[in-house]
Amino acid sequence: MYYLLFNSLSGSAKKSIKSISKYCKKRKIESKLFSILDQNIVDEVLNVAKDTDRIVILGGDGTLNVFVQNPRVKNAIARIMLYKAGSGNDFAREHKGKLIDITDEVKNTPYFMIDDKRVNFLNGVGMGIDACVCDEVNKNPDAGYFKTAVNIFKTFKPFSVDLTVDGKLNHFDDVYFFVCMNGKNIGGGMKVAPNAVRNDGILDVYIIKGKNYKQIVLLFPLIYLGLHTLAKKHVFHLRGKEIEALASVSLPVQADGEVTRDVTRFKVCDHTK
């Protein structure tokens, strides 16, 4: 049995349902379709699915983000699969094939804490202009990440941040954004952490800073290629298991593209912490 979980708010939902249904029919696999937004149903699926069954997530980063917040995922007996069908797909970019086994990754996610609230993530957590862009793109998906970023850069004011990485304090001024990465990509293919290895027990932290937005805008094409790390005056790299952030102003924070507004302090931890 394949338990298919789809996101009714996803623009690609109908196409992915049609595609996976055809896949199952061709292989004579029995399947049932459920909304991933109904947590009671998802709880039931996670409880009843056997080790011979498969729980299949239809979608991309946003749909996966919804799924990994469920605490029952860790105890699921069935293997958990991803059927690539989203628009951003930063997670899927690092995996080959259309239908992939993601059981270990969704059971061992890093997370961040804002006050006492824990939020799991798969790709990365960022604060600053990247989160502002995600927020705007979520409101207007047709605008596109790069075009939206360029427009926001013109009015965004850089900030200062203290980053305590595994107990060591690091201070940065003139920051446009920083990200704590489990994977390599954000923003639909921006390879911001080109050397990151998923679930290796270490998070890669990249800080992007500059005196004015023109310096940072020029970096963006390089980020898509993972070459921005050559700009040593503007890009700084740290690594650690636990990162505590304290910003000089309240700003949005994004995790896998999902935004939390008005944050000053938060902590990011690898799954081993």
In the prediction, which pLDDT does 264 show? Answer: 96
What burial letters (b/e) apply to 36-60, b meaning 16+ CB within 10 Å?
A: beeeeebeebbeebeeebbbbbbbb
Q: Where are the domains of the chain?
A: 2-107, 113-269
Q: Is the pLDDT assigned to residue 76 strictly greater than 90?
A: yes
For the ranges 49-58, 85-94, 201-210, 235-244, the lowest mean pLDDT is seen at: 85-94
Tell me the pLDDT band of 153, cut-offs 50, 70 and 90.
confident
Tell me the pLDDT band of 257, cut-offs 50, 70 and 90.
confident
How far is the C-alpha of 233 from the C-alpha of 7, rounded, in Å? 42
- Architecture label for domain 2-107: 3-Layer(aba) Sandwich (3.40)
Q: Is the pLDDT assigned to residue 212 strictly greater than 70?
A: yes
How far is the C-alpha of 228 from the C-alpha of 205, rounded, in Å? 14
Tell me the pLDDT band of 82, cut-offs 50, 70 and 90.
very high
How far is the C-alpha of 61 from the C-alpha of 158, rounded, in Å? 27
Q: Is the pLDDT assigned to residue 87 strictly greater than 70?
A: no
User: pTM of the predicted model, to two decimals?
Assistant: 0.90
Averaged over 170-177, what is the pLDDT? 96
| Residues 6 or more apart whose Cβ sits within 8 Å of residue 164 | 170, 243, 244, 245, 246
Does the 113-269 domain belong in CATH 2.60.200.40? yes
Q: Is the pLDDT assigned to residue 253 strictly greater than 70?
A: yes
Residue 246 near residue 264, CB atoms below 8 Å: yes
Q: Is the pLDDT assigned to residue 160 strictly greater than 90?
A: yes
Select from 117, 82, 119 the least CA-distant residue to 100: 82
How far is the C-alpha of 26 from the C-alpha of 39, rounded, in Å? 30
Q: Is the pLDDT assigned to residue 181 strictly greater than 90?
A: yes
- pLDDT single digits (tens) 19-70: 899 999 999 999 999 999 999 999 999 999 999 999 999 988 889 999 999 9
Strands (E), 147-257: 159-165, 168-181, 203-209, 235-240, 242-255
Per CATH, 2-107 and 113-269 having the same topology is answered no
Locate 144 and state its tokens. Answer: 């596109």
